[in-house]
Amino acid sequence: MTTSRHITLYGIPNCDTVKKARTWFAAQGLDFTFHDFKKQGVPAELLPGWMAAVGWEKLVNRQGTTWRKLDAATQAAVQDAQSASALLQAQPSVIKRPVVAWAQAGQNHVSVGYVPDQWLAWMGPARPGA
């Protein structure tokens, strides 16, 4: 019996961590959809769910170049989910990447960053020969 699985990897194509994640998914033989923040924007309707799953603090990449280039007032204004959401939509490059949305067997999961151990857990029991 085959389990229906839908995986969407959100990010920016030239991001090294996103490239690494795309390579990992391909190596596992997992089909996924890639959503390019630069071309397709940040899906505002999904941000509340992502924030509920992982926390707005985790989505905001405070170590990245884009964050460091923001002026102090803009950085200081990010204090809650609403202000974080506004910044993430205005500055997609400040989102910690990749964001992976994984739907399988009626369950929805969200991860942020390169976390192959988490993705393996979502795959379920080890597949023969895998």
Residue 15 bears catalytic tag? yes
Q: Supply φ then ψ for residue 90, to 5 degrees.
A: -75, -30
5-123 topology per CATH: Glutaredoxin (3.40.30)
C-alpha span between 30 and 100 (Å, rounded): 13
Rounded to an integer, the average pLDDT of 18-45 is: 95
Query: H helices then E strands: how many in the chain?
Result: 8, 4
Q: pLDDT tens, 66-123?
A: 999 999 999 999 999 999 999 999 999 999 999 999 998 888 999 999 999 999 999 8
Q: Report residue 130's pLDDT band, with 50, 70 and 90 as the boundaries.
A: very low
Q: pLDDT tens, 39-78?
A: 999 999 999 999 999 999 999 999 999 999 999 999 999 9
Q: Which residue in 7, 9, 10, 15 is the catalytic one?
A: 15
What's the confidence (pLDDT) of residue 3?
60
Sheet hosting strand 99-104, strand order edge to edge: 33-36, 5-11, 99-104, 107-112
Question: What are the structural domain ranges in the chain?
Answer: 5-123
